[in-house]
Amino acid sequence: MCKIILITHQKGGVGKSTLTFNLALNLADSAKVAIIDFDAQGSLMQLQSTTKTMDILESPADLNSISSLRFDFIFIDTPPYLSSSLPQLIRIADLIVVPTKAGVLDLMAITNTIELINQTGGLKKTMIVLNMVKPNTTLTLDILIELNKLEASVAKTHISDLVSFTRSVIQGGLGKNDKAISQIDNLTREILTKLLEQ
């Protein structure tokens, strides 16, 4: 059975596509992996011809057909709004990743996405991922309070603000940046562990 990982947040620019690409690529060496690009602007679709180790597919008309695709892992990238297909995608997902920047206003902006996930019964399989975390910053009390209010689990791994992540999509990977590589590795481990618990 393929595992479906949905990456979603109604806000733009939080790192959905970048995280989707790097998480998928990390598993693609040892598993059969596909990305499905639900963003009409199709940013990841443009990488279709240059990406050799995994498939990048357009969104299918029948969302139920996704579960029967022959892959070990399918990562679904979504657009920066609450699309009409999102409730159905939440239902079929085994895990939902919600990337966000670690600011109080950024965390407040998650509420609509989390509410929709909750209404669709997906909160237990949801993991918030703090992205673009500035170096040498600790999570302040107000940020921790906002995270607690959200009632979804938060990944222990934080993804730093690194040029390697910006470049990764064009360069087809993280190159030799050990920090970025180990962060994506650790987040992949957390995702695989949570998938086992479902």
Ligand X SMILES: Nc1ncnc2c1ncn2[C@@H]1O[C@H](COP(=O)(O)OP(=O)(O)OP(=O)(O)O)[C@@H](O)[C@H]1O
Residues in contact with Mg ion by the rule CB under 5 A: 16-17
Question: Considering only residues 3, 8, 18, 150, which one is a binding residue for ligand X as defined by CB under 6 A?
Answer: 18
Using CA of residue 37, residue 40, residue 43, residue 49, what is the dihedral sign?
A: positive
Alpha carbon of 164 to those of 12, 78, 101, 146, 170: distances in Å?
20, 22, 17, 29, 10
Question: Considering only residues 165, 174, 190, 191, which one is a binding residue for ligand X as defined by CB under 6 A?
Answer: 165
Q: Is 185 left (phi over 0), alpha (psi -120 to 50) or beta?
A: alpha
Whose tokens are 């509410």? That residue is 115
Distance of CA 98 to the CA centre of its chain: 6
- Interacting span for ligand X (CB under 6 A) from 13-21, 24-32, 68-76, 116-124: 13-21
Question: Considering only residues 4, 6, 14, 95, which one is a binding residue for ligand X as defined by CB under 6 A?
Answer: 14
Per-residue interface string for the shown chain with ligand X, residues 59-88, x marking contact by CB under 6 A: ---------------------x--------
175 scored as a contact of ligand X (CB under 6 A) = no
Identity of the residue, 20 or 73, whose beta carbon is nearer to ligand X in the bound complex: 20
Per-residue interface string for the shown chain with ligand X, residues 111-150, x marking contact by CB under 6 A: --------------------xx------------------
The beta-carbon contacts of 193-197 under 8 Å, at least 24 apart in sequence, are 194/95, 194/125, 194/127, 194/153, 195/3, 195/5, 195/94, 195/95
Question: Considering only residues 3, 5, 15, 128, which one is a binding residue for ligand X as defined by CB under 6 A?
Answer: 15
The residues that touch ligand X, with contacts defined as CB under 6 A, are 12-18, 39, 80, 131-132, 159, 161-162, 165-166
